[in-house]
Amino acid sequence: MTAIERSEPEKVLVIACGMIAREVLAVRERLGFKHLELTCLPAEYHYYPDRIPPALDAAIGRAQAEGYRNIFVGYADCGTGGEIDRVCEKHAVSRIAGPHCFGFYQGLSSFAEKAEEDMTSFYMTDFLCRQFEAFFLKPLGIDRHPELITDFFGNYEKLVYLAQVEDPVLEEVARNAARLLGLSYERRFTGYGDLTAALRKAGTLSL
């Protein structure tokens, strides 16, 4: 059956980091790609990069066994030292280009331009604003021992909030986080950055 004869495109499965699940779904809606499906690995793997490659390898294997022919990896390198690329090569699938979500949200060219300036910057995204307490305060013990702030964040100078959507509530979280951590504050509205182009390309795999 040719693409023209097919009543609808084949499904494309995106296997992504849980930290970008909301954004993937938002871009899917914007693009109108109903054939694009999403499954996520735990967002907490953001802190344990060594867990990502084996979990991703297993997830791709399961998806292929279930009959998915079109799979896209919703991860950048994410601190794995090229291990995600090796998994992608093994299964002949592609991933989002870049070192991490902070890079592709800004756009890789813009990220590269600001790399030196941001050397001592602590990034936050919409997800990290929504989960600031669960991902930072409680796991690091800062809610109980604020004196640990200096130990964990003493080498940072600025908090940079990379905003995907216009949301004053999230921005207030980011501002409060900067004050709590003793950092200067900068907000950059990035939207979905390179994620949109990556999912547009992924969504055409079956067209």
Give yes or no: residues 32 and 69 share one domain. Answer: yes
CA–CA distance, 199 with 148 (Å, rounded to integer): 39
Q: Is 21 domain-assigned? A: yes
* Interval 45-63: pLDDT, tens: 988 999 999 999 999 999 9
Beta bridge partners of 40: 16
Q: Is 97 domain-assigned? A: yes
pTM of the model: 0.91
Q: What angle do CA 76, 96, 99 make, to 5 degrees?
A: 30
Which among 67, 111, 74 is positioned nearest to 93, based on CA atoms? Answer: 74
* Interval 138-192: pLDDT, tens: 888 898 999 999 999 999 999 999 999 999 999 999 999 999 999 999 999 999 9
**Cα-atom radius of gyration of the chain, to the nearest Å?**
18
Cβ–Cβ < 8 Å for 35, 10 = yes
* Interval 93-137: pLDDT, tens: 999 999 999 999 999 999 999 999 999 999 999 999 999 999 888
Between 21-31 and 194-203, two packed helices, what is the crossing angle to 10 degrees? 60
Beta bridge partners of 163: 189
Give yes or no: residues 79 and 117 share one domain. Answer: no
Sign of the C-alpha dihedral computed for residues 34, 35, 40 and 43 taken in this order: negative
What is the span of the domain harbouring residue 73? 12-102+193-203
Per the structure, the count of domains in the chain is 2
CA–CA distance, 207 with 53 (Å, rounded to integer): 28
Q: What is the DSSP string of 72-113?
A: EEE---TTSTTHHHHHHHHHT-EE--SSSHHHHHH-HHHHHH
Give yes or no: residues 76 and 120 share one domain. Answer: no
Q: Is the pLDDT of residue 7 over 90?
A: no
Give yes or no: residues 180 and 140 share one domain. Answer: yes
